[in-house]
C-alpha cells in the first residue's frame, strides 16, 4: 500500500502558503534568480534548460511512500554529461523547509507535464522513476517511452527491474537497448541473459562478447568475470588492480 506521509490538513496548509507565494509571479522562483532565469528560458523552448530544471526539482523534492517490498535495481549510471539524481521514492530527507519542498514539487510537476506533452525523454524518465513504487505498471510505460527515445538510464532501469522480476523477454529487450546506448553495466546483465537463455536463446559466445565490452568499459563485475574466463590475459588483471577489485568471483558464464 502506497500513501503519502502528509496529512490532508498539512497538505492544505502548505498549499495555502504556496498560493500566497505564487500570487505575484506564479512561480516558485521569487527567492532564487537563477531558477527564475532557467524557467524563463525553458518557457522559450530550450530543452537543455528544461532538463536542468527537471533534474534540479527532482533532486530537491521528494515524496515518501510506504512500500511492502523494495526491489533493488542497478540502474543509475553517469553517462556522458548527464546529471544523476536520486529519484527513488524512499531516501533521506533533504535539508529544505516544507514550504520550499512543496513549491519544488509543484514546479517539478509543471515541467514534467510540459516535457511529457512533447515526449521529452528526460521528463518521461523522471516521471517513471518517481512513479515506480506507487504504480509500477504506469511507471514502466513512461520508462519504456523514455528508453525508446534513447534515454539510457530508463532503459537500464527497466531492464534491471524486469530481470529481477523474472520478466525475461522485457528484460532482454530493455537491456539490449541500454547496451546499444552505452550503459557500462548493460553488457554484464546481457551476458547473464545470453548465458542462461533469458529472453533469448542461450549463446555462450555472445555472452562473452557483451561481457568483454562491459569489462573494457571498466565495469568491475565484468572485469572480474573476464579475469576468471581468461586468466592468462594480463589486461584483466591490470584492470582489476587499477579498479581495486578484491571481491570474490561471481560466475555468470559457465566454463565449456
Whole-number pLDDT of residue 40: 94
Residues 211-228 have a mean pLDDT of 95
How far apart, in whole angstroms, are the C-alpha atoms of residue 57 and residue 234?
Answer: 46
List phi, psi (to 5°) of 134.
-110, -35
pLDDT tops 70 at residue 140 = yes
Residues 201-214 have a mean pLDDT of 96
Pick the more confident residue, 75 or 173.
Answer: 173
pTM of the complete model: 0.70
Spatial contact of 141 and 174, defined as CB atoms under 8 Å apart: no
pLDDT tops 60 at residue 85 = no
How far apart, in whole angstroms, are the C-alpha atoms of residue 186 and residue 93?
Answer: 31
Pick the more confident residue, 75 or 182.
Answer: 182
pLDDT interval class at 108 (50, 70, 90): very high
| For the chain, domain boundaries | 8-163, 184-256
How deeply is 157 buried, as exposed, middle or buried, from its count of CB atoms within 10 A (0-12, 13-18, 19+)? buried
Pick the more confident residue, 21 or 249.
Answer: 249
* Grid coordinates belonging to 155: 532503459
pLDDT tops 60 at residue 130 = yes
SS3 196: helix
Q: Which of 159, 161, 188 is nearest to 172 (CA)?
A: 159
pLDDT tops 50 at residue 24 = no
Residues 154-158 have a mean pLDDT of 94
Which helix (H) or strand (E) segment is 42 a member of? helix 33-43
Whole-number pLDDT of residue 14: 40
Residues 242-249 have a mean pLDDT of 84
Q: What is the DSSP string of 100-111?
A: HHHHHHHHHHHH
Residues 220-246 have a mean pLDDT of 93
Spatial contact of 124 and 143, defined as CB atoms under 8 Å apart: yes
Whole-number pLDDT of residue 32: 80
Find where cell 519544488 sits. 104
CA 9 to chain CA centroid, Å, is 33
CB atoms within 10 A of CB 76: 16
Whole-number pLDDT of residue 45: 94
Amino acid at each position: 500500500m502506497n500513501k503519502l506521509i502528509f496529512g490532508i490538513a498539512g497538505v492544505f496548509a502548505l498549499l495555502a502558503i504556496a498560493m500566497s507565494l505564487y500570487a505575484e509571479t506564479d512561480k516558485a522562483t521569487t527567492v532564487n534568480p537563477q531558477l527564475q532565469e532557467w524557467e524563463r528560458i525553458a518557457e522559450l523552448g530550450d530543452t537543455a534548460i528544461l532538463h536542468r530544471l527537471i533534474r534540479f526539482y527532482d533532486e530537491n523534492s521528494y515524496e515518501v511512500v510506504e512500500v511492502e517490498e523494495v526491489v533493488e535495481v542497478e540502474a543509475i549510471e553517469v553517462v556522458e554529461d548527464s546529471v544523476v539524481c536520486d529519484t527513488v521514492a524512499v531516501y533521506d530527507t533533504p535539508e529544505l523547509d516544507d514550504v520550499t519542498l512543496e513549491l519544488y514539487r509543484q514546479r517539478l510537476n509543471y515541467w514534467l507535464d510540459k516535457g511529457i506533452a512533447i515526449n521529452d525523454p528526460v521528463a518521461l524518465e523522471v516521471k517513471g522513476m518517481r512513479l515506480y513504487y506507487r504504480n509500477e505498471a504506469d511507471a514502466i510505460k513512461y520508462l519504456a517511452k523514455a528508453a525508446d527515445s534513447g534515454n539510457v538510464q530508463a532503459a537500464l532501469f527497466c531492464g534491471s527491474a524486469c530481470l529481477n522480476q523474472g520478466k525475461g523477454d522485457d528484460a532482454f529487450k530493455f537491456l539490449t537497448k541500454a547496451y546499444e546506448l552505452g550503459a557500462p553495466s548493460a553488457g554484464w546483465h546481457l551476458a547473464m541473459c545470453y548465458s542462461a537463455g533469458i529472453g533469448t536463446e542461450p549463446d555462450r559466445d555472445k555472452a562473452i562478447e557483451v561481457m568483454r565490452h562491459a569489462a573494457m568499459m571498466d565495469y568491475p563485475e565484468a572485469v572480474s568475470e573476464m579475469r576468471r574466463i581468461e586468466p592468462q590475459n594480463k589486461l584483466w588483471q591490470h584492470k582489476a588492480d587499477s579498479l581495486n577489485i578484491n571481491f570474490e568471483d561471481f560466475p555468470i558464464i559457465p566454463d565449456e
